[in-house]
Structure 1
Amino acid sequence: MTPDIAPATHPTPPAVPYGTPDTPRIAVRGEARLEVDPEIARITITVTARGKDRRETLADLTRRNTLALDLVKTYGDAVERLETSALTITPELGRHGRGERVRTHHGLVHITTELNDFTALGELTTALADLDLTRVDGPWWALRPDSPAHRTARQQAVREAVQRAREYAEALDTTLTALVELADTGAEDTHPRVPQSTRALSRAAYGAGPTEDEPAPLDLEPQRQHVHAQVNARFTMAPPRL
């Protein structure tokens, strides 16, 4: 009996990523860089208390924390976010002696808040820095994740990719026929959420005592934000006559 012989099979040739002479492809990159005004600003508030008695220190910290929170809340809709990020009560031991005796207690509360009104930001920052044993860091300027600036940058990057592909096709005296692929390689705010110069404002840090007159609000200049978008695109074009 003659054994059955399976018909020979040939592997499917791999797809040609760069097209064929009959359907040439062109690959381009589109890029957009925008500079826009920030939409929000973030500051961090550190409220401090210290004393020899643990409960008195905690009570003092609670009072100062409530004072800072109530002050922030007076700015209403200008405040988009307000949250306590950390709380610590730390005993400090004496450096001398055989026994572990607590010398003093340190209490800290870290508060984070975001504002959309930069005039209110200057007023609030100044008022907070005028509180005893209160430190203010920031501001950090930023765009919202759903900011229209990101969409604008992405659209400009796509339009640039199409325009660049058309220019290459025109150089070959031909035209584009279809879009084969469009890949988003990232559209994000490339400026880190860190200020160019972070200032810590604290009345206690500078040794200033209580004053009868309120200090003038700080004039804060918003930092421009840089938005970047980039896409890779592939097109097919009519065969050029070379």
Structure 2
Amino acid sequence: MTHPITSPTPHDNPHDTPHHTPHHPAAPLPYGTPDTPRLAVRGEARLEVDPEIARIFVTVTARGTDRNTALTDLTRRNNEALALIKSYGPAVEKLETGAFSIHPQLTYNGRNERIRAYHGSVTLTATLDDFTALGELTTRLGDLDLTHVAGPWWALRPDSPAHRTARTQAVHEAVQRAREYAEALGARLDAIVELADLGAENTAPVAPPAMAGYGAPPAPANPGGPAGGAPALDLQPQRQTVYANINARFTMTRPAL
């Protein structure tokens, strides 16, 4: 009896193995798909709130025909200003000494020059959270000899709740705006893809609003006025503007076009 000769199949060879193409998941498209569109919106908030602190800048000056006299007078006036500010106790949240300088004033006579006098100054910065005491303190500082007072500059603390409120409102506005766009297309929001502060994605940051009063020269005080003779200034706090801006990206369901 003879047996038919058959050709071997690929699987009959033990050295042959089936070839499988590896499966790689498709990478998500950066701009969405027709079934899962993406939309990008901006959320903005702008609040008007009362200030929490006020800063005043006090510059004490002195002048003398010699260096020692100028330094002695400057030290005395600086101590007087410090004592007056500290007398307001808890109303003064912070007291700092800034720049100190002493320099000669030269006069020229032909080819010669000589020192005519010495000028000295010390700058103090006082931060107050009691605005009732602020007007009285400002007036009393202005009564001191050769003392300049500038301010007040109103501000919020860095950890003020107003900043959080503005950010929260900006997020809510972004969601509401995105939802309105989706509904206009007969779709609905599906998920949030990204949320970022404006300027956090290599874009130009939004410049904060300029604080009113900065850059103005110090206002000269009334030198030599009687202590306690001038009435307290009636200072009206300047309301502060708080901004928040974000970019948000969402996915939505397929529009019903």
TM-score, structure 2 normalization: 0.82
* Secondary structure, aligned partner of 1:219: coil
- Report the Cα distance in structure 2 between the residues aligned to 1:200 and 1:191, rounded to whole angstroms: 23
Inter-CA distance 81–156: structure 2 relative to 1 (3 Å threshold): same
Inter-CA distance 38–191: structure 2 relative to 1 (3 Å threshold): farther
Instruction: State which of 212, 232, 240 in structure 1 corresponds to 2:247.
Output: 232
Code of the residue aligned with 2:173 in structure 1: it is E
C-alpha deviation, 1:100, in angstroms: 3.5
Paired position in structure 1 for 2:60: 47
- Report the Cα distance in structure 1 between the residues aligned to 2:63 and 2:194, rounded to whole angstroms: 62
Gaps of 5+ in 2: 1-24, 200-204
Gaps of 5+ in 1: 1-11
**Number of residues of Structure 1 aligned to a counterpart in Structure 2:** 229
C-alpha deviation, 1:105, in angstroms: 0.6
- Report the Cα distance in structure 2 between the residues aligned to 1:233 and 1:47, rounded to whole angstroms: 51
- Report the Cα distance in structure 2 between the residues aligned to 1:233 and 1:212, rounded to whole angstroms: 58
1:59-138 alignment runs, 5 A limit? 59-96=72-109, 98-138=111-151
- Report the Cα distance in structure 2 between the residues aligned to 1:107 and 1:65, rounded to whole angstroms: 11
Instruction: State which of 180, 203, 211 in structure 1 corresponds to 2:222.
Output: 203
- Asked whether the equivalents of residues 144 and 227 of structure 2 are also in contact (C-alpha less than 8 Å), the reply is no
Percent pairwise identity = 63
- Report the Cα distance in structure 2 between the residues aligned to 1:47 and 1:194, rounded to whole angstroms: 24
- Asked whether the equivalents of residues 42 and 141 of structure 1 are also in contact (C-alpha less than 8 Å), the reply is yes
- Report the Cα distance in structure 2 between the residues aligned to 1:63 and 1:50, rounded to whole angstroms: 12
Inter-CA distance 62–98: structure 2 relative to 1 (3 Å threshold): same
Code of the residue aligned with 1:68 in structure 2: it is A
1:160-175 alignment runs, 5 A limit? 160-175=173-188
- Report the Cα distance in structure 1 between the residues aligned to 2:211 and 2:94, rounded to whole angstroms: 16
- Report the Cα distance in structure 2 between the residues aligned to 1:213 and 1:241, rounded to whole angstroms: 76
Code of the residue aligned with 1:211 in structure 2: it is P
Answer with 1 or 2: which has the greater Rg: 2
- Report the Cα distance in structure 1 between the residues aligned to 2:168 and 2:88, rounded to whole angstroms: 36
- Report the Cα distance in structure 2 between the residues aligned to 1:212 and 1:172, rounded to whole angstroms: 72
Paired position in structure 2 for 1:9: none
